[in-house]
């Protein structure tokens, strides 16, 4: 099976052949050191019931961890604005940690405005439903995803931003396998694109309809057909580094104006 390895900077793509590190064959003591390396204040998906044994369905547990991290970010931002009394931009978001294991899911995981996902050890998130994406980040502004593997499903990482300022997406040391569509997609669309200086008033259109629940959690309620819609460009800095694509229909589908 031919494997593609790519490293990408802004307007730059080159091939990088490297071997991803794994944590297979670890002893109990080595695993203990791995778990001890989780940063203080990080959100551990296992604290929300994720098992990571490749058999148990971890969808709901991981989703709860993502929402919990998002709520912590919201609290930090309120504190920042209160302290500086004028709006100080976006604040930090807790890291969501996946300890060593294979996390089986059966539905699309939903991320929020800012997300930082990292794996410790040999981590794979495996989609068992071939019609579902693995991860969709809705209305995003910042994303960092590192040291993780993704297997199966349709699109494995999908990002949508309605922001016409600088959006940043960083993917590092990840392994993508067996996607039936693009492994990574970052596209924005609009129902009608305005011309000239009015383009910023074109209304962005998301790939999914998302309902916001009373507690602030996102819920996917349907998919939108964006196949015939014009692109809506935003200032996205997209970096993919030290990553590997294996048996994917397409490595990535990305639009950006920077």
DSSP per-residue codes, 109-170: EEE-SEEEEEEEEEEEEEE--TTS-SEEEET-SEEEEES-EEESSS-SEEEE---SSEEEEE
Q: What values do phi and psi take at 59, rounded to 5? A: -55, -55
Cβ atoms of 171 and 239 closer than 8 Å: yes
Instruction: Give the number of other Cβ atoms within 10 Å of residue 61's Cβ.
Output: 19
Please work out, in degrees rounded to the nearest 5, the angle formed at the alpha carbon of residue 38 by the alpha carbons of 32 and 39.
Answer: 145
Instruction: Give the number of other Cβ atoms within 10 Å of residue 176's Cβ.
Output: 26
pLDDT value of position 62: 98
Per-residue pLDDT of the chain (258 residues; tens, 9 = 90+): 444 433 333 323 322 323 333 334 444 454 444 445 788 889 999 999 999 999 999 999 999 999 999 988 755 555 555 554 444 456 577 899 999 999 999 999 999 989 999 999 999 999 999 999 999 999 888 999 999 999 999 999 999 887 766 788 999 999 999 999 999 998 777 666 666 666 666 677 678 888 889 888 998 888 877 777 667 666 788 899 999 999 999 999 887 654
pLDDT value of position 251: 96
- How far is Cα 36 from Cα 77, in angstroms, rounded to an integer? 28
The answer to whether the predicted template modeling score (pTM) of the entire model surpasses 0.85 is no
Please work out, in degrees rounded to the nearest 5, the angle formed at the alpha carbon of residue 57 by the alpha carbons of 54 and 59.
Answer: 115
- How far is Cα 110 from Cα 217, in angstroms, rounded to an integer? 9
Strand 208-212 vs strand 157-160: parallel, antiparallel, or unpaired? unpaired
């Amino acid at each position: 099976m031919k494997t593609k390895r790519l490293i990408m900077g802004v307007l730059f793509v080159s091939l990088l052949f490297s071997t991803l590190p794994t944590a297979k064959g670890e002893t109990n003591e080595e695993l203990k050191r791995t778990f001890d390396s989780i940063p203080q204040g990080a959100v551990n998906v296992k604290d929300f019931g994720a098992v990571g044994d490749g058999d148990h369905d971890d969808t709901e547990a991981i989703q709860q961890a993502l929402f919990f991290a998002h709520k912590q970010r919201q609290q930090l931002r309120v504190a920042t604005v209160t302290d500086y009394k004028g709006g100080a931009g976006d604040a930090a978001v807790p890291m969501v940690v996946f300890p060593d294991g294979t996390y089986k899911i059966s539905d699309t995981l939903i991320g929020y405005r800012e997300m930082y996902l990292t794996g410790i050890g040999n981590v794979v998130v495996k989609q068992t439903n071939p019609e579902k994406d693995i991860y969709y980040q809705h209305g995003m502004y910042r994303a960092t995803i590192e040291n993780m593997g993704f297997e199966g499903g349709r699109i494995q990482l999908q990002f949508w931003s309605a922001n016409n300022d600088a959006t940043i997406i960083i993917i590092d040391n990840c392994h993508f396998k067996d996607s039936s569509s693009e492994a990574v997609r970052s596209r924005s669309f609009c129902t009608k694109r305005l011309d000239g200086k009015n383009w910023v008033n074109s209304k962005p259109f998301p790939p999914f309809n998302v309902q916001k629940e009373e507690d602030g959690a996102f819920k996917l309620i349907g998919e939108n057909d964006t196949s015939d819609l014009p692109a809506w460009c935003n200032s996205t800095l997209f970096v993919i580094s030290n990553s590997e694509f294996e048996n994917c229909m397409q490595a990535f589908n990305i639009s950006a104006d920077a």
